[in-house]
Amino acid sequence: MAVIDIPFTSFTPDLPALNNPGLVKAHNCSPGLGAGAGAVTLFPLKSASLYSNTSMVSRPLGSAIGQDKDGNAKVYGACASKLYKLLPATRQWTDISRVGGYSTTNTESWESVEFGSLQIFTNYNDEPQFIDMDTDLQFANLTTLVKGRYVNTHKGFVILGNTWDAIDGGIPYRVRWSGLELPSDFAFSAATQADFQDIHGFGAIQGIVTDDSCYVILSRGVVQMSYVGSPYVFQFTDRVVGKGCSVSESIITVEGRHYFLSDDGFYKLEQGNLSPIGIGKIDSWFLDNADLSQAHLMTVAADPRKTLIYWQFVSKDASSGVPDKQLIFNYVTGEWTTADATTQFLFNSVSLPWTIDQLDAFVSLDSVPASFDDPIWAGGTNMLWGMSATGAVYSFGGPTMELSVETPEFQLARSIPNETGADIAIVHAVRPLFEGGEGTARIQVGTRKLQNEDMSWSSLTECNPETGFAYVRNRSRYQRFRINIFGDWKKAYSLQIDAQAAGKR
């Protein structure tokens, strides 16, 4: 007999299971660096815990964060008909919409950006909205001259993309910008430099992103906007031709790099150069599992305390209109995992300060959303939050989610000293290696004799608390292993298999 050590490696479900260099499944965990070349350590994820039992009048469609001149944190939210702020004293969504509210359509959402002390929102159907965070009383029209689906700022301009105006109607390939340092002035003027540009040949604008430059992401390309001053204001340069963004809701900027979903998978845009990040790993898996007819329900956010991006989406197994899965990317290591969604809307937020008296809202210590050393209790800390379909706000300090890992498929007889030349192995025991004394592991073994047969799985077997092994007896040519770890586990990184080659007749 021999004990074979198998470290966890990349999540690569797009590759064949047999001899896959990575894992077939890595679920309810985040990916981090492993101890050896190619190794990956899996870290736990916390489920959502109720932060504020507040509500909106309909499903959340946008959010924003900022601060006033005194450094006080501001959290804003949006639904189809209203814009809100999260009132620090009560943790309740408070309606601060303009008079008459809004009429966001079913497949639209609110986009937002900061400009100095202003928070600007746009939803395409209504005039762009703004609020001065220093006064923070009520949203109002930023301009009545133009509407836009997407908004960003660059070099002192507010830029709208995929626009509508009373003269030309909807122009999905148009960008239009305000006067220099005049965020509400969109009247065309050589003096203020307010103007527009139509970008032809790349389809509709899907988003506007900025780093030290500005990039317009379209359906079939990426165009760079470079400020050149009067009379042309911006110069437009084709940076990517033939490849663009297929889901505008997938776009996110982290540390000066931009990530999004294209027709064939996920990409990174850096300094105007596009590179694939999911090919041969998760692109096919995502396109096979995501219900892209409900792509408008996708939300994306980055964990400010970890190097992780979360894309939350509706899978083909979900109830209609309910985002149920997350695809997680470590943008430093390039590794991926997946998770169950425990809220319906994911967003970046900032914590609001708490007092001891406000803890009475949770009734009991068991319902407190996080441990008392969590940054959620300090004001102004960047956080990853979620919302329910009705606008209730959640942090992610709940119980640890149950890890589910599936290894690639092995022909173990080839890895065991074997004088008979047998190609069948007998597995006696399996031991997952993980940290966290409160975690409990269970194992399943999948077997088949031929690659064209269906995999047959054993029942779940709990690991012995003394040896760490789950004792099984499986004889086959090919084996896979499923590992489930529940409870308060900390790190998971390897698997040990006790096996021997079967005799050959």
Give the span between the Cα atoms of 287 and 15, in whole angstroms.
14
Distance CA 359, CA 233 (A): 53
Distance CA 368, CA 385 (A): 15
The DSSP code sequence of 154-210 is ETTEEEEEEEEETTTEEEEEEEEE-BTTBTT--S--TTT--EEEE--SS-SEEEEEE
Q: What is the pLDDT of residue 176?
A: 98
Could you report the average pLDDT of every consecutive run of 10 residues in the chain (505 residues)?
90 95 97 89 97 97 96 96 96 97 96 98 98 97 98 98 98 98 98 98 98 96 96 97 98 97 98 97 98 97 96 93 96 98 96 59 53 57 95 96 97 78 88 92 95 93 94 93 96 95 69
Rounded distance between C-alpha atoms, residue 463 and residue 469, angstroms: 5
pLDDT at 414: 83
Judge residue 436's burial from the number of C-beta atoms within 10 Å of its C-beta, 0-12 exposed, 13-18 middle, 19 or more buried.
middle
The domain at 2-45+402-501 falls in which architecture? Sandwich (2.60)
pLDDT of residue 415: 79
Contact between 409 and 478 (Cβ < 8 Å): yes
Determine the pLDDT at residue 402: 98
